[in-house]
Amino acid sequence: MAELVETRSVGRLAARAKWAGTLSLDIDRRGGKSIAVRQFHDGALRILRPHYLDESGQVCYVIVNPGGAYLGGDKYLIEVAVADNADLLLTTQSATKVYRTPQDRAGQHMQVHLGRGARLELLPDPLIAYREASYEQVCCVDMDPTASLVMAEVVTPGWSPDGGLFRYDEIRMRNEISIGGRLTVLDNLLIRPGTGSPVDSSNFMSHYTHLGSLLAVDPRVDQALVDELHALLGPMNDGGQLGLTLLDGPGLALRALAHSTERLNEMLAAAVDLLRKRWHGQEPLNLRKY
């Protein structure tokens, strides 16, 4: 089984040897619930046993990095396929920590395929970048026009022993979403805090230290939903910045700036809960892992 999985996966992106950790997961729907019909991991990535958080049949998997952090030169590969009408919630066991990367930036590449009526909620814990850290993350999604995708991310600087903010060097995040074989959403983010302070007034984050992002691509997204989210989330980000944009996908993009992880986590959770309730009749999500 492992040899068969290995042979099939090599052809998807590249030889396994260049990755510090690899993870492949295929989800299908059988007997009224979603299940893994294929899974493989190698190196410094693992996946925990499946959970079902409600009666909807949606399966929840948790990704684990036993090493605890990404280091210089580490490259990780995650491949996910969700078959027709299957439903996956994918999260992480804890925050993704990026330490100093003196020889080369750390990186993660994720490849996603969503079939007809498939659904993926990609909700990792925050990304924490420490002093002199450089990190690149690329997520490529190929989805059917009837599929549903919600993905959220929080980026936060690490803390030093004296309570000051570490000054990471650079974070690059790129999301490429193709619908029906056509590149529809290209979300490209570059953060360079600069030297001398946690943030550089010349970049888009101004004096803010934490960034929250959410992308939702679904045929049910419209301007009324964007307006409802803005009314819900605006009062929650007192003292921060919030932007919501309607995409052609159809979909929406959210960016929020703040001074704390907690504020952004609350906002993104509220947005995800609204979408889950509106589209799937599900109760608020509880991903507490302790």
- Total length of the chain: 290
Contact call for residues 10 and 18 (beta carbons, < 8 A): no
Residues 9-38 have pLDDT tens digits of: 434 444 555 899 999 999 999 999 999 999
Q: What is the pTM of this model?
A: 0.89
Between these two residues, 201 and 75, which has the higher pLDDT value?
75
Distance CA 226, CA 131 (A): 36
Q: Write down the pLDDT at residue 203.
A: 60
pLDDT band at 145 (very low <50, low <70, confident <90, very high): very high
Distance of CA 99 to the CA centre of its chain: 19
DSSP letter, residue 51: B
Alpha-carbon distances of 16 from 137, 174, 208, rounded to whole Å: 18, 22, 38
Q: Is the pLDDT score of 230 beyond 50?
A: yes
